[in-house]
A and B are shown apart, each in its own frame.
Chain A
Amino acid sequence: MSNHRLELAHITKRYPAVVANSEVSLTVAPGQTHAVLGENGAGKSTLMKIIYGAVAPDEGTMRFDGRPVNVRNPQEARALGISMVFQHFSLFDTLTVAQNVWLGLDKSLSLAQVTRNIEAKAAEYGLDVHPQRLVHTLSVGEMQRVEIIRALLTNPRLLILDEPTSVLTPQAVDKLFVVLKKLASEGCSILYISHKLHEIRELCTACTVLRGGKVTGVCDPRQESNASLSRMMIGAEPPALEHHARQAGDVVLRVRDLHLRAQDPFGVDLHGVSLDVRAGEVVGVAGVSGNGQQELLYALSGEDARAPAQSIEVFGRAVGRLGPARRRALGLHSIPEERLGRGAVPTLGLAHNLLLTRGESVGHGGWLRMGNLQKQAADIIARFNVKAGGPNAAAKSLSGGNLQKFLVGREIDANPRLLIVSQPTWGVDVGAAAQIRGELLALRDAGCAVLVVSEELEELFENCDRLYVIAKGRVSPSVARADASVPQIGEWMSGLWEGAHAAA
């Protein structure tokens, strides 16, 4: 028995509404990189939290290095040598990176030592993070890097990673995999949660598949195909996307030489950004998070209306100074990366959340026609196959994927002429992601101009007709998807494209 690093037997966890884990058993050998594969809501995160002591199981046993253990909290887990990088970050916004890391470690080190250790680990693994920055100024990708460094600093014997690669450049993913393989060769076991099948097949030596809280398969992913893994995970293969080449129409969005100082002291200034999006094409903006994507998106959506009017044109109209509502009236709709709290008000029902961007149910004098609003929400829920308690279900009661389907549905249903989407499938399960991509392509085929800003290259290559790359607040020339390669785009993501030096 003692040759297993971790052994779970018959773990069951019930929540008031659902059984998150039912009779789950799983074994991880020392030095093994073990994938846990499953759709959102399959119970992966709950299982990991149980191992990490953040959630107590109702039934079942856990052994670590052959000995029965009762991990009552994350401190005990860390004392055992279990570290975790969460999908939802547990960082304090008002503290610096170093302070956050320091809080999670035992208190034998001084803050200055921790700062040095962070710099050393960051350099060793190529994870670019400044220890003195305040966490609230970091992008999602940067926060994840902090979490990874924090986990590595505890020299774990079992490292749990929840969707770690979604915010890395392909080169950085390769680098991370080198790190993880090195860790594994040093005897550290890794539990790797992901929905990216090719990553799992490349990295992992064992795989446990969960569906609906139950184990539906244990396999060696190197022996499996994407299709067979996908079948175990969702019971079916995701529909293949049909991507027809299509003649693009007139320019809808024209950005010319947009310079904009960041509002946030740690934000990224935009330098001479120029880009075009034509009717009937999907244009992607690739880049590692924190390179000016947020600033660009706010300038385009109108949340930041400080841009010179002429620098942003929609259908030939200078809109740089218009707010989001005025731009929406021109047909420009946007879907933010942050779904809860920006794209939707967490505590309000779905119907009310329509009112953020939709005015069809608003009558004379701003009077709300509640019946209409309910029906409108119910229609979107039905049309986009959103799993929700109904039009009045609070936005925060939906899973990430379902909320995203609703938000995408809300904007697509408005028949936009220009749609700007940020990270459309971030943290969304395979089925929902395929559906969202399909909807975006359908919108394109209907003649809408679509701009997708994403950190997932795979997704951009799958969806887009043309690609730009954003790095350090500058935007590269565009390249047709057919002419683009992953290594080339990856290099551009570091800011190295032809003419970049002349511009700099």
Chain B
Amino acid sequence: MLRLEARPEPSRAWSIAAPLLALLLTVVIGVLLFTALGKDPVKGLQVFFWEPLSSGYRLGELMVKATPLLIIALGLAVCFRSNVWNIGAEGQFIVGAIAAGGVALMAGKETGRWIVIAVVFAGIAGGMLWAAITALLRDRFNASEILVSLMLVYIAEQLLNYLVFGPWKDPGGYNFPQSKAFAAVTQIPRLFTGSRVSIGLPIALLGVAALWVFLFRTRSGFAQQVGGLAPAAARYAGFSSRNALWIALLASGGAAGLAGALEVAGPIGQLTPYVPAGYGFAAIIVAFVGRLHPVGMVFAAVLMSMFYIGGELAQSRLGLPKSLTGVFQGLLLFTLLACDTLIAYRVRFSRQAPRVGVPTMPQPARTESH
């Protein structure tokens, strides 16, 4: 018989092993899935786990997709560690992209390269603004930040649609719902020629270092996390829960907005209804698979990026739907949640009688007075 037994201490080894075991289980379920779909499982795994790494160009693409995931996840980690549940990073990403796009569209012939900085900061400001709505409603009216931030995603999508179908539609675009292509001067600088990897990557890695320092080496980072771990202790210490709420939402909103700006002024180069690619939601998985730890999230972002590319390749190579990406991402999250049980519990294989030397009662437990 299988039994779960609470550990006296949460296991450190398992907090690292759980994501690895979850990945293994995801692969195993993936194999079953490919077999059930009548595809060669070896081929399927190759498409997901080998081909994205097989060439310099592909590695570059891997980084292109991992960058926004990582940047958003870094912000979300601040939120989740302080018990603020921002589920709407996708909306903050979109509004960041809109704000950045608005600035980029203003660029003319004689605009200098400095416009890139304005584009990036507009993106950050846009994301912060969108997250600030959630923070304000939570702060003033105690509205659930989960619902508010999530619903604001759909409003952000409609805002983007309104702009690209309406006022910002490219007059010379054959009535397609898209803005003019941004001027070349607004393009986020690339690191190498021939690859789409931009300065977003070093920015994200700087963010990793910055987050590590904030969380583990500053008092405000500590205060932020105490609010999440033990709210009463935060009140006792005098750490303001309102500050923590605003810091968490502005940081994650700013990060998502930055990712939006880097994306729209980078690989995409114009505003279209297809700017939202689900990075804001996938980053939630990245944050948790990465244990909300800055370094862990780097690996998680690369993994999730592999699923994105693998899904696209599976579509072209194996004739499978692209939604396989979402299936793998979801599998990973669910297996991780299951494996996380092992951090606090151990599995015991026990026989029927757990005790030695205690005879079982011969009769039902009725007693009479003596």
Residues of A within 8 A of B (CB): 2-3, 15-17, 30, 56-62, 64-70, 76, 79-81, 157, 187, 301-303, 323-326, 328, 334, 336, 338, 341-348, 352, 355-357, 359, 362, 365-368, 370, 394, 397
**With A15-B8, A362-B219, A368-B217 given, is the CB distance from A3 to B370 under 8 Å?**
yes
Query: In the docked arrangement, what's the CA distance between A30 and B238, Å?
Result: 53
**A-B contact list, 23 entries, CB within 8 Å:** A2-B370, A57-B355, A57-B358, A58-B355, A59-B355, A59-B357, A61-B358, A69-B361, A79-B366, A187-B369, A303-B235, A324-B236, A325-B237, A336-B236, A344-B230, A347-B10, A352-B222, A355-B219, A356-B226, A356-B233, A357-B237, A366-B218, A366-B220
| Among B216, B217, B218, B361: residue with most chain A CB under 10 A | B361
Residues from chain B with Cβ under 8 Å of A352 in the complex: 222
Contact indicator B357/A60 (Cβ below 8 Å)? yes
Contact indicator B238/A67 (Cβ below 8 Å)? no
For the residues of A in contact with B, the DSSP-based class is loop
Interface size class of B (residues with CB under 8 A): 20 to 34
Q: For residue A340, which residue of chain B has the nearest CB?
A: B230
Interchain CB contact (< 8 A) of A356 among B8, B237, B358, B366: B237
Residues from chain A with Cβ under 8 Å of B233 in the complex: 341-345, 356
Residues from chain B with Cβ under 8 Å of A324 in the complex: 235-238
Q: Which of B353-370 contact A (CB under 8 A)?
A: 354-363, 365-367, 369-370
| Among A76, A334, A348: residue with most chain B CB under 10 A | A348
B271 vs chain A, min Cβ distance (A): 39
Query: In the docked arrangement, what's the CA distance between A56 and B351, Å?
Result: 14
Additional pairs, 9, CB under 8 Å, beyond known A65-B367, A80-B365, A356-B237? A15-B8, A58-B356, A60-B357, A334-B236, A336-B236, A346-B229, A355-B219, A362-B219, A370-B217
B55 vs chain A, min Cβ distance (A): 43
B110 vs chain A, min Cβ distance (A): 41
Residues from chain A with Cβ under 8 Å of B357 in the complex: 59-61
Contact indicator A68/B359 (Cβ below 8 Å)? yes
Query: In the docked arrangement, what's the CA distance between A338 and B236, Å?
Result: 10
Q: For residue B353, which residue of chain A has the nearest CB?
A: A70
Q: For residue A62, which residue of chain B has the nearest CB?
A: B358
Q: For residue B360, which residue of chain A has the nearest CB?
A: A70
Interchain CB contact (< 8 A) of B229 among A79, A302, A347: A347
Contact indicator A79/B365 (Cβ below 8 Å)? yes
Q: Which 10 A-B pairs have the closest CB atoms?
A: A324-B238, A325-B238, A356-B237, A366-B219, A342-B232, A345-B230, A79-B365, A366-B218, A323-B238, A70-B358
Interchain CB contact (< 8 A) of A343 among B217, B219, B236: B236
Query: In the docked arrangement, what's the CA distance between A356 and B236, Å?
Result: 8
Contact indicator A345/B229 (Cβ below 8 Å)? yes
Residues from chain B with Cβ under 8 Å of A30 in the complex: 370
Query: In the docked arrangement, what's the CA distance between A345 and B81, Å?
Result: 14
Query: In the docked arrangement, what's the CA distance between A343 and B229, Å?
Result: 13
Residues from chain A with Cβ under 8 Å of B365 in the complex: 69, 76, 79-80
Query: In the docked arrangement, what's the CA distance between A320 and B105, Å?
Result: 54
Query: In the docked arrangement, what's the CA distance between A333 and B267, Å?
Result: 56
Q: Chain B, 1-24, contact with A by CB distance < 8 Å: what is the 0/1 string?
A: 000000011100000000000000
Residues of B within 8 A of A (CB): 8-10, 216-220, 222, 226, 229-230, 232-233, 235-238, 240, 354-363, 365-367, 369-370
Residues from chain A with Cβ under 8 Å of B216 in the complex: 368
Query: In the docked arrangement, what's the CA distance between A323 and B355, Å?
Result: 54
Query: In the docked arrangement, what's the CA distance between A303 and B240, Å?
Result: 10
Contact indicator B355/A70 (Cβ below 8 Å)? yes
Query: In the docked arrangement, what's the CA distance between A69 and B8, Å?
Result: 28
A431 vs chain B, min Cβ distance (A): 24
Q: For residue B222, which residue of chain A has the nearest CB?
A: A355
Query: In the docked arrangement, what's the CA distance between A17 and B367, Å?
Result: 37
Q: For residue A329, which residue of chain B has the nearest CB?
A: B238
Contact indicator A303/B370 (Cβ below 8 Å)? no
Residues from chain B with Cβ under 8 Å of A79 in the complex: 365-366
Query: In the docked arrangement, what's the CA distance between A348 and B360, Å?
Result: 43
Contact indicator A302/B238 (Cβ below 8 Å)? yes
Query: In the docked arrangement, what's the CA distance between A343 and B235, Å?
Result: 10
B263 vs chain A, min Cβ distance (A): 32
Query: In the docked arrangement, what's the CA distance between A37 and B310, Å?
Result: 66
Query: In the docked arrangement, what's the CA distance between A355 and B356, Å?
Result: 47
| Among B216, B357, B369: residue with most chain A CB under 10 A | B357
Interchain CB contact (< 8 A) of A397 among B9, B237, B354: B9
Contact indicator B370/A65 (Cβ below 8 Å)? yes
Contact indicator B355/A348 (Cβ below 8 Å)? no
B211 vs chain A, min Cβ distance (A): 15
Query: In the docked arrangement, what's the CA distance between A346 and B9, Å?
Result: 11
A11 vs chain B, min Cβ distance (A): 10
Residues from chain A with Cβ under 8 Å of B218 in the complex: 365-368
Query: In the docked arrangement, what's the CA distance between A203 and B57, Å?
Result: 83
| Among B230, B356, B363: residue with most chain A CB under 10 A | B230
Contact indicator B9/A342 (Cβ below 8 Å)? no
Query: In the docked arrangement, what's the CA distance between A323 and B236, Å?
Result: 9
Q: For residue B10, which residue of chain A has the nearest CB?
A: A347
Query: In the docked arrangement, what's the CA distance between A152 and B220, Å?
Result: 50
Residues from chain B with Cβ under 8 Å of A67 in the complex: 361-363, 367
Interchain CB contact (< 8 A) of A60 among B9, B232, B358, B360: B358
Q: For residue B220, which residue of chain A has the nearest CB?
A: A366
Residues from chain B with Cβ under 8 Å of A328 in the complex: 238
A450 vs chain B, min Cβ distance (A): 19
Query: In the docked arrangement, what's the CA distance between A370 and B221, Å?
Result: 14
B62 vs chain A, min Cβ distance (A): 35
Contact indicator A338/B355 (Cβ below 8 Å)? no
Interchain CB contact (< 8 A) of B230 among A2, A341, A357: A341
Residues from chain B with Cβ under 8 Å of A344 in the complex: 230, 233
Query: In the docked arrangement, what's the CA distance between A70 and B363, Å?
Result: 11
Residues from chain A with Cβ under 8 Å of B356 in the complex: 58-59
Contact indicator A68/B354 (Cβ below 8 Å)? no
B44 vs chain A, min Cβ distance (A): 40
Q: For residue A76, which residue of chain B has the nearest CB?
A: B365
Contact indicator A303/B236 (Cβ below 8 Å)? yes
Query: In the docked arrangement, what's the CA distance between A356 and B362, Å?
Result: 56
